[in-house]
Chains A and B, each alone.
Chain A
Amino acid sequence: MANDAGGAAAGIGASLLRREDERHLLGRGSFVPDIKLPGTMEVAFVRSPHAHARIRGIAKPAGGERRVFTAADLPRLRPIRVETQAPGAKSPPWPPLATDKVRYVGEAIAACLAPTRAEAEDLAAQITVDYEPLAAVVDAPRDMQGSRHPVHEGWSDNLFSERVFAGGDIEAAARAAEITVRREYRMNRQSGAPLEGRAVLAYRDWRLDEIVIHASTQTPHTLRVAIGEILGIDLRRLRVVAPDVGGGFGPKARLYPEEIILAALALELDQPLRWVEDRTEHLLTAAHSRDHHYQVTAYASRDGRILGIDAEIVVDAGAYGLWPQGPYQEAAMAARCLPGPYAIANYRCRALTVATNKTPMGPYRGVGRPGACFAIERTIDEVARAAGRDPVEVRMLNIVRPEQMPFTSIGGMRFDNGNYPESLRLCAELLDLPGLRSRQRRGEPDGRVIGIGFAVFAEQTAHGAAEFVARGAAIVPGFESCTARILPDGSLVLMVGIQSHGQGLETALSQIAHHELGIDPARIAVRHGDTETSAFGFGTFASRSMVMSGGAVARASRALRDKLNRIGAHLLQCDVAAVRCRDGAVRGPQGSVSIAEIAKVAHLRMDGLPPGVDPLLEAVATYEPAVGTGVFSYATHGAVVAVDPETGFVELLDFAVAEDCGTMINPMLVEGQIRGGVVQGIGTALYEEIPYDEAGQPLAGTLADYLMPGAAEMPAIKIGHLHTPAAATEYGMKGMGEGGAVGPPAAIANAVRDALSALGAEVNETPITPRRVLAAIEQARFRVGGPTG
């Protein structure tokens, strides 16, 4: 049973201010590039300027032979290879340094070492690579069945994988349909673009006989596993530390060639090595994301009830699969999420993951879901239009109702609980939908047109073993761990396998320990991101850390509490059943003994221990939620836009989120995650894109080309909460880190569509740039017939 000590001020449900803030506010954070070791050599990479080419030779400059390392110089480097049990999936090897061929612009070919980064770049510029350029595969839908030079040798096509997801009888739905809506959607390629890029510092520690790797990563433990395997050394000889990490958002939850190469160099050379990714490298070589193409056909009854969805999803996954999960999860996740939070009986979806000569695709906040949400939510709006009804009404008609819970969608998602229609209603209320509709009828004085759009989605979070096994995953991140240690003075250290990089987990996890033990959060340290201090854990991604690591903290704290109670009862000379641990002390019928006193006994005065009780106050616990298929947060996002039909510029006037993530440990942190996610979703919707030309050259290499959302263009984001605790997790928590980024593209596209409804124009591609808006208006002008498909 949870302890009620501490009250709401610092425990569960309190908006406790963050313990992480002080160091950052003072400029004393410690990010990888801030760590200084004497004699560090800086690394710059020679990277491919070609999307697809054979390497015929590499010439090092005279005198630079011992400072330039190619694949041939580092025989220890074995290729990255994703093991997958997913049916029909191909998994090509990826040499960390290119050997005979390069497959995307930016692929690493040689590492160059010098005392400063500038000199390392000078050296890199002197290396001559003899390339034989090949035609690049750049258009996934066009080239997926094959091309003159497939991305990978021995492949007859360019498919990483192809799967069909189906349920019900789609042909019957087609026959019964009174409304048929067909649309194509495109969510273009983008970067995760955390403000801090990737960074690696690697060195040999002779005393401990290990290689220490400081990396800006979300997943230190699994990084160690991968590097040990690829370099063929014992994990006891590898330590991975993720210190302060300047944002992750998914791209840093993968193994990268640079991390392996720096570790390999640290084994070869007796000096520290550092590589700090610059912004151009980040935009070119850190995992890209999105890049989904959809063809969706919706069958519906005359009143807008959806009878079936028939779809094809093509994901342009780039050249290789990133370890550990490979390129497969985007398409699969999108296919399973495409039916949305709706009770749809018939479904068919072909999901294809295509290899192209582009940067490898990886996770980014939302993984697959922003695209799926965009496709289904745009489609719902078009069904509503065809039915002559308001999109909110048609959503209400189709959405899963509370009494249907738990509900397994036709996409195979098991929604655990919640009131989805209520989130839609609340979101419309937050935006004052009736007021907006009348404003819309009145018209704007400046000639612009306003529109309102919604998107509803459910977000699978904290999925455990069952989910990852079903995906055929190489590793199954089904649990998290916590080592909880009370020190001799009664202060507490929580050592966890996750990595906090802005989420505030140092604060939130201390709240859980405080809730269980009553120890003042100021006396609790949370250590994370270091393979040396914590038991194994998978890291921070997939909206899992609060549920999984929080669960592990709860269990470890309770184990400590049991021991505290036993020792405390002994010291109080009463029965253990008569004591309770509360407010930092064990309290009995007569008197109490503080945790500090018990800790002293457990370490320094073992003569005070009850018979049969070992010294030390330390517990290791793991946690996996009772349901392995995830607990589902859900939300409705609503956007209000003003579109200038003359220029195509879209201004976001208002944005609201009505969401339910179960029990909130720290509402302030929850709202921070929502707002941050929403603005990233707005970036997807309106600004961010890495286009490629026909030769496979990426066209956004700086932040002058790659536009990130700025304060001036963002509205203040409104939030409303619903509270449906999960049954399967500690305290009823649900994960919620990604949801913010899922809804905005769909909500904003629907708002733009709503604004342009009089013109009959719709934009079905992100980002919704002025150019695309004007093109849509032009296209609508030339189109004959009505707005339905």
Chain B
Amino acid sequence: MTAIRVIVNGAEVIDNVAPRTSLGDWLREGRNLTGTHLACEHGVCGACTVLVDGEPIRACLMLAAAGEGSEVRTIEGFDADPLMMALRDAFHRRHALQCGFCTSGMLITAWDLIRRGKASSAAEIRRGLAGNICRCTGYTNIVAAIAEAATAAEGVGDGE
């Protein structure tokens, strides 16, 4: 077992993990943060996207042990975040989710795109979502919702 100290959604967590445990499994099984979904476990689908030290990463492609000393933020850690609130509102009003399984990863990816100023057009948003698979919506409404939230956040951007 490997000892780790990680800040998870703002709170310090000290734990012992089996070295092979992925960050995704640790968050879900060890911390009961089940909003992080595992759908492919090989880095293609994006459902498990979380922030580590402020940047989106695949929780299935990082060992929990390698998270030692990092700050991890999951979908449960955004409840008071204004940009995430705007995104959630836009996803709701634009019908940008159906089954909800990709949604956590979509929201975190979208949050990062807007934060980095990479959501200025529908085409740019679509490229930015290339690593997040949604099987339900056909993407049109997701792109529209992100464009809307980006416009609200920055006063720029155009929808589809």
A and B directly contacting (CB within 8 A) = yes
A-to-B contact residues, CB < 8 Å: 17-18, 20-31, 33-34, 36, 116, 118, 193-197, 244-247, 249, 278-279, 501-504, 668-669, 671-672, 675-680, 702-704, 708, 710-712, 714, 716-717, 740
| Pair B44/A679 contact, Cβ less than 8 Å | no
Check B51 for interface membership: any CB of A closer than 8 A. no
Output the least CB separation between A289 and chain B (Å): 14
CB-CB under 8 A from B100, the residues of chain A are 20-21, 23-24, 29, 244, 246, 502
CB-CB under 8 A from A194, the residues of chain B are 99, 101, 135
Output the least CB separation between A171 and chain B (Å): 45
| Pair A710/B47 contact, Cβ less than 8 Å | no
Other A-B pairs, 20, CB within 8 Å; known A33-B34, A244-B99, A712-B127: A17-B93, A18-B95, A21-B100, A22-B92, A25-B88, A27-B36, A30-B34, A31-B101, A36-B32, A193-B135, A196-B37, A247-B99, A669-B95, A675-B140, A679-B139, A680-B135, A703-B133, A711-B126, A712-B129, A717-B140
In Å, the complex CA distance between A22 and B103 comes to 11
Show 17 residue pairs from A and B whose CB-CB distance is below 8 angstroms, ordered by the A residue.
A24-B97, A24-B100, A25-B97, A34-B28, A34-B34, A195-B45, A245-B99, A246-B101, A502-B136, A672-B137, A675-B140, A676-B135, A676-B136, A703-B40, A710-B131, A711-B132, A712-B126
Which one of A25, A671, A680 contacts B92 once the chains associate, using CB atoms below 8 Å?
A25
Output the least CB separation between B91 and chain A (Å): 6
Closest residue of A by beta carbon distance from B133: A708
In Å, the complex CA distance between A279 and B32 comes to 22
| Pair A195/B107 contact, Cβ less than 8 Å | no
Check B75 for interface membership: any CB of A closer than 8 A. yes
In Å, the complex CA distance between A711 and B128 comes to 9
| Pair A279/B134 contact, Cβ less than 8 Å | no
Output the least CB separation between B108 and chain A (Å): 10
Those of B109-130 within 8 Å (CB) of chain A: 122, 125-127, 129-130
| Pair A711/B76 contact, Cβ less than 8 Å | no
Interface size class of chain B, counting residues whose CB lies under 8 Å from the partner chain: 35 or more
CB-CB under 8 A from A20, the residues of chain B are 100
| Pair B129/A711 contact, Cβ less than 8 Å | yes
In Å, the complex CA distance between A196 and B139 comes to 17
The 4 closest A-B CB pairs, nearest first, are: A27-B35, A24-B100, A246-B101, A27-B75
Which one of A29, A279, A716 contacts B140 once the chains associate, using CB atoms below 8 Å?
A716
Output the least CB separation between B81 and chain A (Å): 12
Which one of A28, A502, A676, A710 contacts B129 once the chains associate, using CB atoms below 8 Å?
A710
Output the least CB separation between A287 and chain B (Å): 15
CB-CB under 8 A from A679, the residues of chain B are 137-139
Output the least CB separation between A372 and chain B (Å): 23
CB-CB under 8 A from A704, the residues of chain B are 42, 44
| Pair A716/B92 contact, Cβ less than 8 Å | no
CB-CB under 8 A from B40, the residues of chain A are 279, 702-703
In the complex where A18-B92, A708-B133 touch, is A502 in contact with B98 (Cβ < 8 A)? yes
In Å, the complex CA distance between A17 and B38 comes to 27
CB-CB under 8 A from A244, the residues of chain B are 99-100
In Å, the complex CA distance between A708 and B37 comes to 18
| Pair A118/B20 contact, Cβ less than 8 Å | yes
Those of B12-47 within 8 Å (CB) of chain A: 18, 20-21, 28-29, 32-42, 44-45, 47
Which one of B18, B35, B99, B129 contacts A195 once the chains associate, using CB atoms below 8 Å?
B99
| Pair B34/A711 contact, Cβ less than 8 Å | no
Output the least CB separation between A352 and chain B (Å): 31
| Pair B99/A246 contact, Cβ less than 8 Å | yes
Output the least CB separation between B96 and chain A (Å): 9
In Å, the complex CA distance between A702 and B127 comes to 22
In Å, the complex CA distance between A679 and B37 comes to 22
B-to-A contact residues, CB < 8 Å: 18, 20-21, 28-29, 32-42, 44-45, 47, 74-76, 79, 88, 91-93, 95, 97-104, 107, 122, 125-127, 129-143, 160
| Pair B126/A27 contact, Cβ less than 8 Å | no
Closest residue of B by beta carbon distance from A707: B44
CB-CB under 8 A from A25, the residues of chain B are 88, 91-92, 97, 103, 107
From A24, A249, A669, residue with most partner B Cβ within 10 Å: A24
Closest residue of B by beta carbon distance from A666: B95
In Å, the complex CA distance between A28 and B100 comes to 10
In the complex where A118-B18, A501-B99, A711-B126 touch, is A26 in contact with B79 (Cβ < 8 A)? yes
Closest residue of A by beta carbon distance from B34: A34
| Pair A702/B135 contact, Cβ less than 8 Å | no
Which one of A27, A247, A503 contacts B76 once the chains associate, using CB atoms below 8 Å?
A27
Output the least CB separation between B84 and chain A (Å): 9
| Pair B45/A703 contact, Cβ less than 8 Å | yes
CB-CB under 8 A from B137, the residues of chain A are 672, 675-676, 679
CB-CB under 8 A from A714, the residues of chain B are 126, 138-140
CB-CB under 8 A from B32, the residues of chain A are 36
Output the least CB separation between A586 and chain B (Å): 33
In the complex where A195-B99, A717-B140 touch, is A279 in contact with B42 (Cβ < 8 A)? yes
In the complex where A34-B34, A672-B137 touch, is A247 in contact with B101 (Cβ < 8 A)? yes
CB-CB under 8 A from B98, the residues of chain A are 247, 502-504, 672, 676
From B45, B91, B132, residue with most partner A Cβ within 10 Å: B45
Closest residue of B by beta carbon distance from A672: B95
Which one of A23, A711, A712 contacts B142 once the chains associate, using CB atoms below 8 Å?
A711
| Pair B97/A196 contact, Cβ less than 8 Å | no
In Å, the complex CA distance between A501 and B32 comes to 23
| Pair A711/B97 contact, Cβ less than 8 Å | no
Closest residue of B by beta carbon distance from A118: B20
In Å, the complex CA distance between A26 and B81 comes to 12
Closest residue of A by beta carbon distance from B40: A279
CB-CB under 8 A from B88, the residues of chain A are 25-26
| Pair A675/B138 contact, Cβ less than 8 Å | yes
CB-CB under 8 A from B76, the residues of chain A are 26-28
In Å, the complex CA distance between A28 and B104 comes to 10
Closest residue of A by beta carbon distance from B98: A502
In Å, the complex CA distance between A502 and B135 comes to 10
CB-CB under 8 A from B131, the residues of chain A are 710
In Å, the complex CA distance between A249 and B134 comes to 13
Closest residue of A by beta carbon distance from B36: A27
From B74, B75, B104, B135, residue with most partner A Cβ within 10 Å: B135
